[in-house]
C-alpha cells in the first residue's frame, strides 16, 4: 500500500520574541493530530492526511492567534468532510475550509479590537491517493523534490511573487527587492479571499516540503535541495532545514513540514519526469 512518512518542526528564530507560525499534521482516518512515533507513517487512504503550515502576521495584533485559529478551523472542517469522492470534491471542501478560516479570523478581530489587523498565510496539502491537492494563500510555499530536482509548486501572493511570475524579476533579485515582504493576499485581512489550488501527480519517492518564508528568506532553493538530498528522513530533514535558517541569521519564525511518499499504488518516475501540476485559481 502507498504511504507517506511525515514530520514537521517550528522554531522562533534568532530575532523574533515569539513564534507566530503554526502547523498541523492530521490523520483524517483516525482524526489524530500530532507527530508521535506511531503517527509519522500513514497510509494513503481515501480519507487521507492533512498537512498545513501557517505564518501569522500582526505582531502585537496577535498573528499567533490567527495562525492557531487557521490550523484548528482547517483541520475541523476537512476532517468532518472526509473521505473525498474525487480531487474536485476535495478541492471544494478545502475551499470551504479556507473560507471558514478567513471568516473566523475576521470575527475574532471584531470581538477583540486589540487583534484588529491580524492575519495569516496558509499552505495546506491534502494527500489521499496518487494525486496531491495543495491549497494556498500568502507567501508560505509548497515544493516537491523528485530525484535531484526541487520544484516550487505555489506562487507567492506577494508583490515580488507576481513580478517573478510575470517575468519582470528574477528569483535571485527578489532577496534584495525593497517591497519583498508586501503580501497581496492573506487570511483574515479581506472579506473574501481567492485561494490558489494545485493538483500534483505523485510518483514514488516524491518528497513534499511545506514551509513559511522564515526558511525561504535566508536559505536559497539550492541550499534547501542540498539538505533534502542529504537527509532522507523527514525528522532529520526538518531539523536540518530549521537549523540552516537559524544559522543564516534566523530573521523570522521558521516552520517546515516534510512528507515522503512511497509504496505500491504510486508509479515510479518515468526517467527524469518533471512534476506535473494543474493549477486552479479561484476568483476573489
pLDDT at 283: 57
Q: Is 80 exceeded by the pLDDT of residue 133?
A: yes
For residue 162, pLDDT beyond 70: no
> What is the pLDDT at residue 205?
97
Average pLDDT, the chain: 92
Output the pLDDT for position 82: 93
Q: What's the confidence (pLDDT) of residue 67?
A: 97
Q: Cα(110)–Cα(102) distance, rounded to whole angstroms?
A: 13
Instruction: Specify the pLDDT at position 239.
Output: 98
Q: What is the pLDDT of residue 45?
A: 86
Task: Give the three-class secondary structure for 21.
Answer: strand
Percentage of the chain beyond pLDDT 70 is 90
pTM of the model: 0.94
Domain ranges of the chain: 3-151+185-281
pLDDT at 168: 67
Work out the burial of residue 281: count CB atoms within 10 Å of its CB; fewer than 13 is exposed, 13-18 middle, 19 or more buried. Answer: exposed
* pLDDT per position as a tens digit, 236-264: 999 999 999 999 999 999 999 999 999 98
Q: Give the pLDDT mean for 22-43.
A: 96
Is residue 21 pLDDT above 70, yes or no? Answer: yes
162-177 average pLDDT score: 66
Query: 155: helix, coil or strand?
Result: coil
Give tens-digit pLDDT for 93-111: 999 999 999 999 999 999 9
pLDDT of residue 177: 61
**Residue 284 reports pLDDT greater than 80:** no
Rounded distance, CA 247 to CA 206, Å?
27
Distance from CA of residue 89 to its chain's centroid?
20
Measured over all CA atoms, what is the biggest interatomic distance in the chain, rounded to whole angstroms? 56
CATH superfamily of 3-151+185-281: PPM-type phosphatase domain (3.60.40.10)
pLDDT for 117 equals: 86
Which of 199, 180, 175 is closest to 280 using CA atoms? 199
Q: What cell was used for 89? A: 470534491
Q: 53-62, 153-162, 228-237: which has the highest mean pLDDT?
A: 228-237
CA dihedral (280, 51, 6, 152) positive or negative: positive
Dump pLDDT digits (tens) for 177-200.
Answer: 655 667 889 999 999 999 999 999
Amino acid at each position: 500500500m502507498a504511504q507517506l512518512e511525515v514530520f514537521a518542526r517550528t522554531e522562533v528564530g534568532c530575532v523574533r520574541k515569539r513564534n507566530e507560525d503554526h502547523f498541523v499534521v492530521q490523520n483524517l482516518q483516525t482524526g489524530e493530530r500530532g507527530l508521535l512515533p506511531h503517527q509519522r507513517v500513514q497510509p494513503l487512504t481515501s480519507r487521507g492526511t492533512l498537512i498545513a503550515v501557517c505564518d501569522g502576521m500582526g505582531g502585537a495584533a496577535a498573528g499567533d492567534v490567527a495562525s492557531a485559529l487557521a490550523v484548528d478551523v482547517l483541520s475541523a472542517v476537512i476532517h468532518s468532510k472526509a473521505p473525498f469522492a474525487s480531487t474536485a470534491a476535495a478541492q471544494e471542501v478545502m475551499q470551504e475550509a479556507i473560507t471558514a478560516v478567513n471568516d473566523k479570523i475576521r470575527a475574532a478581530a471584531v470581538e477583540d479590537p486589540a487583534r484588529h489587523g491580524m492575519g495569516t498565510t496558509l499552505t495546506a496539502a491534502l494527500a489521499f491517493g496518487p494525486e496531491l491537492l495543495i491549497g494556498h494563500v500568502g507567501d508560505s510555499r509548497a515544493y516537491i523534490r523528485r530525484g535531484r530536482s526541487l520544484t516550487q509548486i505555489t506562487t507567492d501572493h506577494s508583490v515580488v511573487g507576481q513580478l517573478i511570475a510575470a517575468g519582470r524579476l528574477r528569483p535571485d533579485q527578489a532577496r534584495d527587492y525593497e517591497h519583498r515582504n508586501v503580501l497581496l493576499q492573506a487570511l483574515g485581512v479581506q472579506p473574501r479571499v481567492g485561494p490558489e489550488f494545485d493538483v500534483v501527480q505523485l510518483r514514488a519517492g516524491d518528497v513534499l516540503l511545506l514551509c513559511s518564508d522564515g526558511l525561504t528568506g535566508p536559505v536559497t532553493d539550492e541550499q534547501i535541495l542540498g539538505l533534502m538530498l542529504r537527509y532522507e528522513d523527514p525528522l532529520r530533514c526538518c531539523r536540518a532545514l530549521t537549523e540552516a535558517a537559524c544559522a543564516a541569521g534566523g530573521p523570522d519564525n521558521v516552520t517546515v513540514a516534510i512528507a515522503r511518499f512511497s509504496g505500491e499504488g504510486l508509479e515510479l518516475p518515468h526517467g527524469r519526469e518533471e512534476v506535473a501540476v494543474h493549477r486552479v485559481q479561484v476568483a476573489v
